[in-house]
Structure 1
């Protein structure tokens, strides 16, 4: 463990892995479906070997490349962030959450089979899997018996012989990330790791203690206003090409230009209110009017209000069908809304700047995701465009969190505490177990807590036997 070697699967642009590297882990191999994303990833991890393509076909190449660099030395860490699109609650048309037929239609929902394959081949000391909370409960068909199972419970059962699993469901704003970002993590610790028994004895987990939460932290969550002020970036405005971009940031601090109507609709939303264009009681011609919530046109002139409206084939207007969180300003006095892959769309969830008439720029989104200022993009923006860059940013794991997590993991391996670990009794861990157990019960499968309880009992028995032997007393 003198060299903390690591492997990354589903690496995206490598931002989350930057945090683990900062904590002391060195990535030997990084795998990503899309070559363009892998190129960005390798710019930020220049010592790593890259593997592009579908991991269901290339995972053996990952193993081969790792062994070519490290021989038979086991990795200290295997990181995996499988795609969440098939799980995410932001996606519609997925069918019932408990419908395994619907869940299995998206093949990405069982990419954890690849994670299990690589883990059992390389046997890393630690395995970290990140996804949306639905990862713990969304049903798919088990690859072998075809009965319903959540992807997370499948992975826990597949690795139970060799690993102890620790779940976490948390909002990352509790860890100082300046946005509300609810995520699920599974951290697996190989059963022969010496620090595992000590961690179990102390009632701790391989996760960092929440630093910005009322229940455990010393600070409150960082608000969007505080974060934007700390970035120190110039104001932008979506009305013209000149005002929508700041030249000194190579295109990363720029926003889409809106037409006159969209701009007027956003400008009518009072700054710092968190309100949406659905609430506007304004006509472009008549000014303020009094209208019901469902109104699409002005009662005086009949023209469309400054609300999200669409014109029907018969010439009438109606409100756009959408979520209440769309066409809405972010709340300045709260952590930012979750930075998603759709941060460049006004009709997505909470994407409008709290005070200025525009969306957030890719640079602001990256900084809210806690990307370091020196993160390398190469010519990605020029080659791939804003949409692809925003997607990479939206799918990243915030490196501020992975740095903290990595410090706890390093302390566990080296048995030298670096950062305070989270207690097993923490509500974020308890919630994780509850989700996993509830899903297993519905599926008629073994409670995943039984695997953990067995490890805890085994650890206690081992300590008891050792103590009795030291005292030279008969048992």
Structure 2
């Protein structure tokens, strides 16, 4: 379908269909759905992603290796939608052995090549990808962009500060939008006010280290050893381990190599965005993940909220046991839903502009 055909679609008659490759816990899919797009399917190799994706977005989950997907699989999920959107966040493949770690950058980004393969084969009207900013410096990314342009896509991409889109953390990501219908770009937010940690999690019930809320199993904080309990009590919001008494400092801090990591064992600050959530953001010793005033690391639920998931987002089916490493991975690796919503609303603005012939991107996004 080209731009002229889109112009003929009635306002209430057009349909969209999104396929989210490497969908994880559904952060991107949820954001796209919140914007008004219809998410048909999510694909991920991790079976833990099934419940959050299906429960929160209504999409079908396929526990598949994207490398094994065929264009026919995507065409079946897309169905007869007027506007098809292929979305995803292709991960750099992890390595567990020394020989693997010596693979070239291109070999590590094999999954990006499979995303490219499926995009070029199926030619969805719109393609979007979110990824780490460092990818933009690699040849594999430049070849991906060139392949899209050869296929007649209008392509834009940029590094984005997520806190500009009401994600309460200082996370930076690479966002690409490409369209066969005409020029497209990520719309700017209309707000210069960044959401703070206090706005995001200040109203959650108090917890002690190692405690779980009776109302929400994800509002659970990891336990602390006695020495780490002393350390967090000696920590101030925004401070560092340098503020501690000498006897509390870890051996690594006493080495010259350890002095370049001041945020390890740090508390967040109420009146600023949080640091970037990682897969180990539930651990006090893994970064500035200490609660601003309670003597504990942030809970899994607090980490999810800081990623901009809604407070009632369901990560586990009833009866499933909370495990910090599993949930930390799902939360830390997720695309922030508010960023996904901004991407989705930019896509819908683009579709409407093409349909009506109006100038695109009138005004900025209001994500509050």
Cα distance change on mapping 1:15 and 1:71 into 2, 3 Å: closer
Q: Aligned ranges for residues 57-456 of structure 1 at < 5 Å?
A: 57=68, 59-60=69-70, 63-71=71-79, 73=81, 75-84=83-92, 102-104=104-106, 107-137=107-137, 139=138, 149=139, 151-161=140-150, 162-190=152-180, 193=181, 196=182, 205-212=184-191, 219-229=192-202, 232-238=203-209, 241=210, 244-249=211-216, 251-270=217-236, 272=237, 274-281=238-245, 305-309=247-251, 321=258, 323-379=261-317, 382-383=320-321, 385-415=323-353, 420=362
Q: Is the 8 A contact 1:4 1:24 kept in 2?
A: no
Larger radius of gyration: 1
In the alignment, structure 2 segments of 5+ residues that lack a partner are 1-8
Cα distance change on mapping 1:401 and 1:69 into 2, 3 Å: closer
Cα distance change on mapping 1:122 and 1:384 into 2, 3 Å: farther
Residues 1:50 and 2:61 are matched in the alignment: yes
Cα distance change on mapping 1:365 and 1:33 into 2, 3 Å: same
Q: Provide the rounded CA distance (Å) in 2 between the counterparts of 1:185 and 1:307.
A: 40
Q: Is the 8 A contact 2:277 2:332 kept in 1?
A: yes
Q: Provide the rounded CA distance (Å) in 2 between the counterparts of 1:160 and 1:181.
A: 28
Q: Is the 8 A contact 1:8 1:80 kept in 2?
A: yes
Q: Is the 8 A contact 1:172 1:183 kept in 2?
A: yes
In the alignment, structure 1 segments of 5+ residues that lack a partner are 88-92, 140-148, 213-218, 283-304, 312-316, 423-475
Residues 1:17 and 2:19 are matched in the alignment: no
User: TM-score, normalized by length of structure 1?
Assistant: 0.66
Instruction: Provide the aligned C-alpha RMSD in A.
Output: 3.0
Q: Provide the rounded CA distance (Å) in 1 between the counterparts of 2:80 and 2:117.
A: 17
Local SS of the residue matching 1:382: coil
Q: Is the 8 A contact 1:176 1:211 kept in 2?
A: no
- If asked which structure has higher relative contact order (CA below 8 Å, sep 6+), I would say 2
The alignment covers a number of residue pairs equal to 344
Q: Provide the rounded CA distance (Å) in 2 between the counterparts of 1:76 and 1:186.
A: 16
User: TM-score, normalized by length of structure 2?
Assistant: 0.84
Q: Provide the rounded CA distance (Å) in 2 between the counterparts of 1:18 and 1:180.
A: 21
TM-fit CA distance, 1:54: 2.0
